[in-house]
A and B are shown apart, each in its own frame.
Chain A
C-alpha cells in the first residue's frame, strides 16, 4: 500500500447501551485508513466524525496502559498496537472482551480482574514489618534471580488472557491467568517471603488446579508475559510444597547502605498522613 493511499474499511462494531438495549447488536461504519492506521485510530475517527456515542476505552495509545483490549476479528488484541492492514480484509469485526461484563459498547467491566489480582497479594511480603513500613535500604538481588520473574512483571492488566481462557469462559470464580501469573511473579521473587500466603490462596477451588494448559492466554498476551508458563511453575511449587520436597532459599538480604555516599537532598517528610 502506498503511504498516502486511502482505503475504505468497514468497521462492524458491537453496540450495547445498558439504558436502551436488551442485548448487543452490530453497527457498521466506513472508515478511511492508510498504511499504519491502527484500529484505535479507526475508532477515534468514528467517534469524531460518524457517531460520538460510541464508547471504548483508550489512554496511552502505545500498548502500555492496557485499556483498549477488544476482540478484533474474533481474537483479543490491543486496539492501539494492532494495525488495520494486519488483517488483509476490508471488514473488521470489533467486539468487547468476553468472559467479563460489558459496561457499554466496547467497554468491558474489569472489576473482577482487579479483585482477583488483589486477592493473590501482588506485592512483596516480608516478615520484618518495620522494614516494610520504613525501608532503610534496598534488597540485594542477583541478575539470575531477577530473570526468574522478570518476564511476568510486564503484565499490563488488559484482560486479553482472561478473554482467551476457556476456564474463565465458564467459571466466574476462577482467578484467571492474570492473577495466577502474578501470584507466581511474587512467589518467584527472591525478596519475597509471602509464598505460603499465596499458596494457600491459589490452592483453593477455582484457582491454580483449574488451569488445563490450553495456553491460549500466553498466545493472546500482547506483552509476551506467558501467564501459562507462570501458572505451571506455580503449580510445580504448590505440588512440591504439599509433598514436602520444596527447596526454599533464604530471602534476599538488605543491602548495606554505602558509608561514604550521602544523599544530596534529604528525603522529605510525609506532609499527608498515610491512611
Chain B
C-alpha cells in the first residue's frame, strides 16, 4: 500500500488575500501590502523620470510632463496619492500599535471574549476617517485641475 503521506494544505500567497470570513483588520493588512508594493513600483518609475529626463534640460522635461498629462496618468497619480495617504497613516498606526502602545493591558478572558485591537478600534477608525478625508481632498484637487 503506497502511503503518499499528508496533503499540504497551506493557503500560500492567496492566504494573504483571503483566508476566511474575518473582520476589518485582516483586510487593512492586505491593503497595506498592496499599497506598499504599488508605491514601490511607482517610486522607481518616478525616480527614472525625475532623474534621467530632468537633467537633460527644459525641452525634454517639458515634453515628458506634457506626455504624462493625460487621463490615464492623472488617474494613476490620484491612486498613488490615495495609496500614500493610506500607507502613511495606517503605517503610523501600525508603528504605534506594533510596539505595544495604544493597545491597553491584557485582560482575563471572560466570555464573550474581546481582543486588544478591537477594544481599541476607535484608533483604527480615526485613522481610516483621516485617510478618507485626505483622499476626498485630493480628489477635489484633481477635479479642479482637471483629469488630463
Which residues of A pack against B, CB within 8 Å? 16, 18-19, 22-24, 71, 73-76, 96-103, 108-109, 147-152, 154, 163-166, 168-170, 172, 211-216, 218-221, 223-226, 228-230, 232-233, 235-236, 239
| A235 engages B16 (CB within 8 Å) | no
Q: How far is the CB of B32 from chain A (nearest CB, A)?
A: 7
- B residues 8-58 near A (Cβ < 8 Å) are 8-16, 19-23, 25-26, 28-30, 32-33
Complex CA distance for A152 and B115, rounded to whole angstroms: 12
Assembly CA distance A211 to B117 (angstroms): 14
> Least Cβ distance of B131 to chain A in Å?
17
Residues on the A chain within 8 Å of B70, using CB? none
Contact B108 A99 (CB under 8 A): no
User: Would you call A23 and B115 a contact (CB within 8 A)?
Assistant: no
Contacting A18 at CB < 8 Å: which of B7, B22, B100, B106? Answer: B7
CB of A224 within 8 A of CB of B106, answer: no
* Cα of A224 to Cα of B106 in the assembled complex, Å: 10
Number of interface residues of B (CB under 8 A): 48
Q: Which of the segments B60-68, B76-84, B91-99, B136-144 contacts the partner chain? A: B91-99
Of the residues B6, B26, B114, contact of A102 by C-beta under 8 Å: B6
Assess the B23–A219 pair: CB atoms within 8 A.
yes
Q: Given A102-B7, A226-B115, is A219 in contact with B13 using a C-beta cutoff of 8 Å?
A: no
**Total inter-chain residue pairs, C-beta < 8 Å:** 167
- Which A residues are in CB contact (< 8 Å) with B114? 224
Q: Are A229 and B7 in contact (CB under 8 A)?
A: no
B10 near A147 (CB under 8 angstroms)?
no
B109 near A224 (CB under 8 angstroms)? yes
Q: Are B10 and A219 in contact (CB under 8 A)?
A: no
**A216 neighbours in B (Cβ, 8 Å):** 19-20, 22, 25-26
Q: Which of A101, A223, A224, A235 lies at the interface centre, i.e. has the most chain B CB atoms within 10 A of its CB?
A: A224
**Distance in angstroms between the alpha carbons of A226 and B109 in the assembled complex:** 9
Given contacts A148-B106, A169-B13, A170-B15, 17 further A-B contacts (CB under 8 A): A23-B7, A76-B20, A101-B7, A151-B107, A163-B19, A169-B11, A213-B25, A214-B26, A216-B20, A216-B22, A224-B110, A225-B109, A226-B113, A229-B115, A232-B103, A236-B100, A236-B101
Least CB distance from B128 to A in Å reads 15
State the Cβ distance, A189 to closest chain B Cβ, in Å. 12
Contact partner, A169, options B2, B4, B15, Cβ 8 Å: B15
> What mask results when residues 103 to 125 of chain B are scored 1 for a CB within 8 Å of chain A, else 0?
10111111101111110000000
